[in-house]
Amino acid sequence: MALPIIIDCDPGQDDAVALLVALGSPDDLELLGITAVAGNVPLALTEKNARKMVELSGRTDVRVYPGCSRPMVGDLVTAEYVHGPTGLDGADLPEPLTPAAETHAVDFIIETIRASSDPITLCALGPLTNVAMAFVRAPDIIGRLAGLVLMGGGLFEGGNVTPAAEFNIYVDPHAARVVFTSGIDITMMPLDVTHQALTNPARVAAFRALGTAPGEAVAGLLDFFDRYDMEKYGSEGAPLHDPCVLAYLIDPSLFSGRRCHVEIVTDGPAAGMTMIDWWGITGRDPNAMVMGNVDAERFFALLVDRVGSLPGS
């Protein structure tokens, strides 16, 4: 039986790859809907970019629900310097024809969880604003969820937008605090894992060798996405962050980690920091399964397989 999921995202090249992996895995994942949040680029672009992925995959049965356009507190911070002004620079994709859903993402999350007879897993690939707002407005849904798998934070890697903070948590640390104190079963993919899942020329070439429109699009997106991190880190490629969430749901054996207590810093120079008690120093009860390792070769093989399963036109 396919696992029912909702993906909350802010595409972004790596979100786009994650969406294609999910859309190409109908036997494993029942994608009930995609909710968009402001993050990598403003909401008007993230929701449009999600619709582009739906159409590229041929899965127009999956609707996209626009959500929150700013964080719970403060002003929106975006990352065009990484993703380009469109958020999906690197692939020449047509404007989507399928309209966005009229229902707000937060309403969709609440209504879908309440109506489902099976526990749903939330997949959070961007700032946690939509998820936190749903939890604040409808705390009853927390106990109905199977869990939350998210990309965000850092342990030994620290941050990628400040010395302390990873981008997704930094954009809306108050939302992250709501989520991490909610009692929901959290699985966390921090920078420590995603920085092991590096693209390289051979891995990008494997997508292009599929000879399909989705494969070509992924290769183009990654060619653009790579250049920022290669210059920043001096690495051969870029960390493919968000697909880790979907790969974990398809094949958890790709990852290993441990249960830890995670606290979110909301203010001051360390705002957005995820204080992960990896060594159990505080004695506080764990509130997240924090992943620390990924089998990168098997990870990329899975991504190529699932993107390759999508229609070629």
Residues whose CB falls within 8 Å of the CB of residue 214, separated by 6 or more in sequence, listed in order? 20, 24, 56, 57, 307, 310, 311, 312
Cβ(42)–Cβ(67) below 8 Å: no
CA distances to 241, 243, 259, 282 from 297, in Å: 15, 14, 25, 35
Q: Which of 83, 195, 241, 261 is catalytic?
A: 241
Give me the half-sphere count of Cα atoms (radius 13 Å) on the Cβ side of residue 96: 23
Task: Report how far residue 127's alpha carbon sits from residue 112's, in angstroms, rounded to the nearest whole number.
Answer: 20
Cβ(92)–Cβ(100) below 8 Å: no
Structure tokens at 44: 């008007």
Structure tokens at 253: 């054996």
Task: Report how far residue 152's alpha carbon sits from residue 26's, in angstroms, rounded to the nearest whole number.
Answer: 25
Structure tokens at 140: 């009853």
Q: Residue 127 CA to chain centroid, in angstroms?
A: 9
Cβ(33)–Cβ(62) below 8 Å: yes
Query: What is the helix (H) or strand (E) element at residue 298, kind and residue range?
Result: helix 296-308
Query: Does the annotation mark 104 as catalytic?
Result: no
Residues noted as catalytic: 241
